[in-house]
Every structure is written in structure tokens, then in C-alpha cells.
Structure 1
Amino acid sequence: MPGYAEKLTENQQRTKLKEAVLAGQATINGVSLMIGVMDSHFMMGTLNTEVGRVIRVLYTTAKQRKLPLIMFIASGGARMQEGIFSLLQMNTILMAKREFDATKQVSISVLTDPTMGGVSASFAFKNDLVIAEKNAQIGFAGQRVIKATSADKLPANFQTAEDLLQHGLVDDVVAREHLRGYLATLLKLHQRG
């Protein structure tokens, strides 16, 4: 797509990141784990072939090392400049996640603001535990699109983490300042071998 390479370069220079996700091994309160962090400051954290590759490697490495996995998700969805290649990442990530599941290690999604589009419709909700950050906007299509295509009046808390919890779509809502301790407790409760 015209201008895409320039847009990537501009985002790399502005954010000092190579792409919209960082991944590696970490510890939380002494528990080793694999961690992935999507960054909405880099092209709204959109999913493309490279982001998909990093997330697949994250699941594969967690499987090989028999470690639990936490994904911090912030995304505007699929990166439309890459078209079908971007959309295919959703399925390839789910395949890597399925292979990771054989380890019986826990996988946790932390949905942050915003978690939207194809990312919310695929791997964001597929981990064993789905935690949402307090006040995060989470959904598929944004409110503006829904308002433009529907005559219905949307409730004030539409697509908020709290609304998703009330409807049973997330396991819990946690304020950012409490996430570390909360996740440490989950990891200790689900520790294996």
C-alpha cells in the first residue's frame, strides 16, 4: 500500500520500537513466565505479519520452556495496510496457542485500553484467564461505527471493561496499580512443575 513503508519508519523513529509488540521472559514475584506487551502508541497496536510472528514465537517459546504466559493487549485490530496477510495472523496465533495448551501452563490476557477489532475477536479472549484493566474500552467495532449503523441508543458504559464483566465476558476487572500483585497471585495459584 502506498506510504506504508514511510508510516512504519515514522512510527519506529517516534516510539523507538521496531513493531507494535515486545516479548520476552520475565519474573513476577519470583515466578518465571513469558510476557508479551502490545503498544497502542505504535500504529494503534495493530496486528500485522511481524506482530503475529512475535506472538507466535512467544507461545512457542513458552511451550518449549514450559512457562506460563501473560499477554498485555492493546490494539485497534488488524493492520489494514497488509490486508489478508494481517487477518491471517489471527488464525496462526490461535494455532500456536493451541500447541502451547498441551503444556497445561496457564495463559492470561490482560485487556487494556483499547482492545478492539480482529484482535478482540480472536486471541485476546482465548487465554485461560481474561482480565480487563479498569475503564478499558473493549469491543469489535467502535461506538462511532455502531452509532452510524444502528438507531439504538448505546448505554453510557457500552464496551467498558466493567460492562463486559457484568455480562460474564471477562473474568475480572483490575486497576493498573493492582495488576502486578493480582497477576502474581494468579501465577502462584496456577503454578505447574
Structure 2
Amino acid sequence: MLMIALEGIDGSGKSSIGKELQKYLQNKYKNKKILLTYEPFTSEITTLIQNLGWKDGISLTLLFSADRAIHLNWIKQNNPDIVIMDRYYLSTIAYQSSLGVKKEWIINVNSFFPKPDLTILLDLPSEIAIKRINKTDKFNFSEKIQLLEKVRHNYLELAKEDKNIKIIDATKEFNTVLKEAIMNVEKLFS
């Protein structure tokens, strides 16, 4: 199974790029089973996160990680050839470390999860992201929005540590961003 993770702060375009990337791959690789999934994955844990709010980074780390374990079990049961994940463990590291939780502990909690073959980081300044954020975002907590620039910085630092993280400038026109994402994915097949 090939794993592709889409990461970036809220409003960076992960969901839109994920949908188009899935369409592209399904058209090109008709004999392959391609899944597009989202984190958080389970409605029960999503409800717990909504009720908790955006203040307790340790609880959030554990909730998102528990959700991820359930998510990965579901993916394995569906046995895809390719899975595109709209958020994965880098989100937990970038967001919860911005709340003061030690990055090393978050990495350790998530160390049991498989590493993606490719992570595409859609990079976007927080002021642009805030303008794009959908008002119906279920995790649109004011505390989280205030931390977006710090989260962006955390993502960029994580990208320096991992050669499988490809940064794409998400301020560019959508089709340009999509073409760059496709180009990075195609390198996995060559």
C-alpha cells in the first residue's frame, strides 16, 4: 500500500487537492483501489475533541492518536493500493506542540504508525489561511486560529527533518498547486 499524506494549516487546500489527486490517480491507474480519507476519522472522537476545545494539548494528542489507530485499522481492512490521507500524524505534532506539549513526546506517541511514502505540505501564511477557513469548520476554535502561524512554523521545521516531505507553495493558483502535487506523487511510480 502506498501512503500519501496531505498536510498544512487550516485553509491550505488539503481537501480540495486530495479530491483532485484521487480523481487523477483513479483515471490514470484504473486497476488500482485508491482511497481518500480524512482525519479526524471517527465521529465519536470528533465529538470528544469538539467538547474539549483547543486548550488541553495532551488530551488532544491522545485523542487524535487514538482516532488515527482506528483510522489505520479501517484502511487496512479496505486494502487499498493507494491511500491519500487528508491529515496524518504531522498534524498532531505541528498543532499540539504549538500548545506547549513536548514535540518528542508527541512523536513517541505516534511512532507506532507507519510513515507515509510521501507527505505533501501545502504551505500558506496564516493571514491567508484565516481568510480561507470555512466558517463551518468544526474545529474553528479561536485559540487554534491564533496559533496558526506557530503551527505553520512547526510544519516547516518538521519538513527540514524529513526528505519525504515536499513543500508546495499553496498561495499559488489552484491548478499550479495541483500540478506540483501530481508531479511529486508521480515520482513515487518512477
TM-score for both structures, normalised by structure 1: 0.39
Larger proportion of strand: 1
Comparing both chains, which one has the higher relative contact order based on Cα–Cα distances under 8 Å and sequence gaps of 6 or more?
2
Superposition TM-score, scaled by structure 2 size = 0.39
